[in-house]
Amino acid sequence: MMAALIDVKTKTVICGATIVTNSYALTAAHCLLQRTVNDTVLLVGDHNIKTGTDTSFSQVYIVAQFMSHPGFTVRPVANDIALVRTERPIQYNPGVASGCLP
């Protein structure tokens, strides 16, 4: 399911992400350039990010680690994929679950 990487200071959306397990979300590696885990959180279960946590399912998770594909390059763009690990497990509920992967 959808999630969003949020800048802690400005409270703006950096990029989207997809929950893949209760500890990891998948995003684009270019979204993590010049970012640290200290200035980024993962928002899940929200419908309108501009209004803040607007559902009873909304949860914010502290990011523990970024893992970009080791072959990621900006020019030319290649392997633009990364994992974001949360400090604590993501709690699934009717509005928060992992995406379906083949």
Q: Is residue 102 included in any domain, yes or no?
A: no
For residue 76, whether the previous peptide bond is cis, meaning omega lies within 30 degrees of 0, is yes
Q: Is residue 62 included in any domain, yes or no?
A: yes
pLDDT tens readout for residues 5-30: 999 999 899 999 999 999 999 999 99
Q: How many domains does the chain have?
A: 1
Q: 14 lies in which domain range?
A: 2-86
- pTM recorded for the entire structure: 0.91
Dihedral sign for Cα 64, 70, 74, 78, please. Answer: negative
pLDDT tens readout for residues 39-93: 999 999 887 666 666 678 889 999 999 999 999 999 999 999 999 999 999 999 9
Torsion angle (degrees, nearest 10) of CA 16, 55, 63, 30: 10
